[in-house]
Structure 1
């Protein structure tokens, strides 16, 4: 019996150790997403305390799904960068203007959705002056690859989708002992301390920066989503950027017929924004998306967010969250301020 217990203990000890490491350092919350996706140790658990005031702000903008207002200065349509709640750029905008936000579940493709709203009766019912069309850089080109400019959606259909949408809590990322995470995470954590410039968990890159002054936790590591790099083949193709620009110009004309002005807001990939600060760029291609888009003829109002935020990197820390793909409240305020300036000039 003693031998059995001893053998069982020797067998279970490594598994228990792996479990304790994973349980202690694994992040199972939706955000920070890069820590979770890359299987990195969550060693800066107090990192976001610096944003505590912004993360607890009152929400001033309206969501289409839970308001009856039919008039707003600005309609924001976008991905997760437009769904940051109380610390999002649209909430800072709403301190000055009335802002209506299209819920993410109503718009999986911002460009396609805007065409559908234009072809339907949305802008006949809702009085909007400006549309802010936002898309993260890595997905902007792909969002227009199979666009259907004739498709439409009516207000009745929107209402139906809203009513049928069940209340969904945050997706469950909770750590389960009986999963491959128990084995994978400790080894990934070890790699975090020993390796440089590598892809972790086949999803997130970890590269060394030239400085440790870009984030308030004083880390010299840049974590970024793999797609930021993998989608450069299309995003660095001038022909693809021209195609995107033509579609955005077409949307501008269609919105103008509704007395609405279009503001286009690409959100820079984290990799792109911090590219010049990466220590070893030998095998890392330079992103050209913003350079190409800046150079073409545009009929819409354009927010060059990369240029805007890049100018602040030397003086402001945490333009993007260290541990996440998204910009922080620091950047949200800068973006909101620029949109306000554009509107005032208009």
Structure 2
């Protein structure tokens, strides 16, 4: 029996050591890329970045308008995606802290809008139903992440109507979250941490990861790693959607939308958030991937709407070596970039008053 136990211990020991080392080796910082790519980044990475950003909530969520969408006035209405879902470190909260107007954000997560929420579609829907004329903001900030711009516009139903009653019906009621399976997640994380970690040595997306990892010429993050990590769709959607013709159609569509909104006294501001790959592509060592031309093409088009050229806005900061414009462990920008965007929006909104 003793011999059997010794053999069992010897058999199990490598597996125990395997998981113990992985448990301490894979630090979870909380970012989506850290989670998807199993790339270890200190859990304290964000502490310094967020330490000085202690603003209270200064904006109003669209869903909070008395739960019947009748509170107001709405001066600035933000309609966007996950870049417009960053809470107190968001650009719209910083905007609300420096502007005298009321800032409202369409908190899409509070509504059942389907699996593939499209901020452009939402704006067209509330315009077509007459709801936008009823609430009549002074300006609308339409925010879209770069990799989804063309896909969202291409899938647009120009005639869809979303009225007040439908939005009220689509408000989520509080629900009890389903139970998670932490044990299963733990073992899966450790296995993928080792597997991806090994394959990243030979391939920039570990052959199967959703996250790319490429060496950079400059240290532009304070995370302790010198690599750029970004989401695979930055490249996939660039290859599949970024063409001169598609960007021309999008720009024409925004011009037409702006004309309709201007006729009822509303100013349209289009805010495209650069993909992380696009923002940092010039700093990648021996980059085997093509450059993303999206902003170069869109910048050259004639526009009647106000366009926030965030890439041009951010480049001087990168050239000065400013770190962490984007979170190292995430697809989203950090409070540093949020403040820059808020200041630019304040300037553009002020010029239109």
Same fold (TM over 0.5): yes
Distance 2:214 2:119 in 1: 31
Q: Could you tell me how far 1:323 is from its partner in structure 2?
A: 1.0
Counterpart of 2:266? 260
Question: Is residue 22–residue 190 contact of structure 2 (8 Å, CA) maintained in 1?
Answer: yes
Counterpart of 2:299? 294
CA deviations 1:164-207 (Å, max 9, x no partner) are: 44347699695636743332222333556xx2761045200110
Counterpart of 1:186? 194
Q: What TM-score, normalized by structure 1, do the two folds share? A: 0.91
Q: 1:177 to 1:320 in 2, by over 3 A?
A: closer
Q: 1:178 to 1:128 in 2, by over 3 A?
A: closer
User: Structure 2 unaligned runs (5+)?
Assistant: none
Give yes or no for the alignment of 1:100 onto 2:113.
no
Identify which of 206, 228, 231 aligns with 2:234: 228
Counterpart of 2:138? 129
Q: 1:178 to 1:266 in 2, by over 3 A?
A: closer
Distance 1:170 1:262 in 2: 40
Q: 1:168 to 1:248 in 2, by over 3 A?
A: farther
Q: 1:227 to 1:114 in 2, by over 3 A?
A: same
User: Structure 1 unaligned runs (5+)?
Assistant: none
Counterpart of 2:160? 151
CA deviations 1:272-325 (Å, max 9, x no partner) are: 0000001111x2110000011111111110000011011211332111111111
Counterpart of 2:278? 272
Give yes or no for the alignment of 1:140 onto 2:161.
no
Distance 2:59 2:185 in 1: 40
Question: Is residue 196–residue 207 contact of structure 1 (8 Å, CA) maintained in 2?
Answer: no
Q: What does 1:1-346 align with in structure 2 at a 5 Å threshold?
A: 1-26=1-26, 31-42=30-41, 44-68=42-66, 69-95=71-97, 96=99, 97-105=101-109, 106=111, 108-162=117-171, 164-167=172-175, 174=182, 176=184, 179-190=187-198, 195=201, 198-200=204-206, 201-212=208-219, 214-217=220-223, 219-281=225-287, 283-315=288-320, 316-346=322-352
CA deviations 1:86-105 (Å, max 9, x no partner) are: 00000011111311110123
Distance 2:150 2:183 in 1: 35
Question: Is residue 197–residue 208 contact of structure 1 (8 Å, CA) maintained in 2?
Answer: no
Distance 1:341 1:302 in 2: 12
Give the match's secondary structure for 1:199: coil
Q: Could you tell me how far 1:8 is from its partner in structure 2?
A: 2.3
What's the RMSD between the two structures over aligned residues? 2.3
Q: Could you tell me how far 1:117 is from its partner in structure 2?
A: 0.5
Q: What TM-score, normalized by structure 2, do the two folds share? A: 0.89
Q: Could you tell me how far 1:254 is from its partner in structure 2?
A: 2.1
How many residues align? The count is: 339
CA deviations 1:68-99 (Å, max 9, x no partner) are: 33212210011110010000000011111311
Distance 2:312 2:263 in 1: 31
Question: Is residue 196–residue 206 contact of structure 1 (8 Å, CA) maintained in 2?
Answer: no
